[in-house]
Amino acid sequence: MTENVTYLTHWGLHSNHSAGRWVESHRPGRDIVLPPLHNADEPIVFSPLHVLNSRHKERTRGLFFAGRICGDGKAPHEGRCDDTKSSFSGNIRQRVSMHHWNRTGWTVANHVKAYTSALSSHTFCLSPSGGGYGRRSVQALIMGCVPVLLGDGLHQPFEPEVDWSQFAVRVPEEDIPHLHHVLEAINESKIEELQGRLWCAAQHMYYSTTYGEVMGEDGRFDAFEMLMEILRMRRDHPDLDPREYTQMDTSFADFIDCKLAPTGGRVALCSQNRLVKASGEPRLRPCRNEHPGLQMRSIHMFYSWPGGAVCGQNWTIAACPRSWI
């Protein structure tokens, strides 16, 4: 009954994973992997990719990871976990820690004091899964850090429709012991090429029209619009392999490269970027100041107002402006 149903999920496991004892659950070409929601809060509100940011930190060639490593939540001792269960992270975080815990120039730890700063100062950011789908690959993109993808048989958000090899480094799990050699072998020109694609790729993974911009984007290529574009391709090319979308449809290719021109005038989203705001940039329009007195749904952080940031004070959601209509 559900054979022809398209599931929108965050978990793109398309083949069994023995170490994690994870069972295949994703059907490439039928189901779609969505990016996880990132609220407009740290670290992404300090994205150095903002078009108005004039202060760029020099990045080290090292790898960064901070977060839970062992399945029992305890910090590893000299890189090793007491907990031998491999179901958490498919034993990926544990193995990276064991082989690289004290490597010069790398940060692999349970916790660091300056997490946001570390994302902005390392070239590579480890992006493994955890107890389920991971958020770090999208977080790394928005923070201008090249994601290092570990997880055999696991699709990232909007993959394979989006080719992650254009802006990330995928490493087979069997190469974890040699991960440092893999990254050291990437020359500077290749790194610059990957970094040059992060700003556009990150737009596809973040819900700008809901939360407001963090990179100077106008929302035309955000995660919601990316989903709509994939569904358009399913409608127009029902039998086409998703990996061939960019080759067979120039409009889709231009969308992926953030090259489609606005057709209805630009929509200027309010901004959530605190890095640029702190610099006193006069062209920035902070979301919290844009519409004084407008009730925003929040707990301890900004969420959004009805209809999303693209609506502003327009309470008729159907009439919310779109620059691409």
- Per-residue confidence at 289, pLDDT binned at 50, 70, 90? confident
Q: Residues of 243-268 as b/e, b for ≥16 C-beta within 10 angstroms?
A: eebbeebeebeebbeeebeeeeeebe
Which residue shows structure tokens 């269960």?
A: 85
* pLDDT confidence bin for 184, thresholds 50/70/90: very high
Tell which wins on pLDDT, 94 or 317. Answer: 94
3-state SS class at 131: coil
CA of 211: how far to CAs of 54, 165, 235, 242, 312, in Å? 23, 27, 28, 28, 11
List the chain domain ranges: 44-198
If one counts every other C-beta atom within 10 angstroms of the C-beta of residue 184, the result is 10
Average pLDDT, the chain: 87
Q: What is the pTM of this model?
A: 0.91
Single-letter code of the amino acid located at 72: D
pLDDT in tens, 131-178: 777 889 999 999 999 999 998 888 999 999 999 999 999 999 999 999
Cα separation of 276 and 284, whole Å? 8
Choose between 282 and 112: higher pLDDT. Answer: 112
Distance, CA of 119 to CA of 147 (rounded, Å): 11
Cβ proximity of 314 and 307 under 8 Å: yes
Instruction: Of 322, 94, 81, give the one whose Cα is nearest residue 208.
Output: 322
pLDDT higher at 63 or 21: 63
Q: Are strands 32-33 and 107-109 parallel, antiparallel or unpaired?
A: unpaired
CATH of 44-198, one of 2.40.128, 3.40.50, 3.90.550, 1.10.10: 3.40.50
Per-residue pLDDT, 285: 83
User: What is the rounded average pLDDT of the residues 37-59?
Assistant: 89
Q: Is the pLDDT of residue 301 over 80?
A: no
- Is 282 exposed, middle or buried, given 0-12, 13-18 or 19+ CB atoms closer than 10 A? exposed
229-250: pLDDT as tens digits: 999 999 999 999 999 999 999 9
**How far is Cα 248 from Cα 254, in angstroms, rounded to an integer?**
12
Cis amide linkage into residue 242, ω under 30° from 0: no
Residue 61 phi/psi, 5-degree rounding, is -80, 0
C-alpha 323/C-alpha 62 separation (Å) is: 40
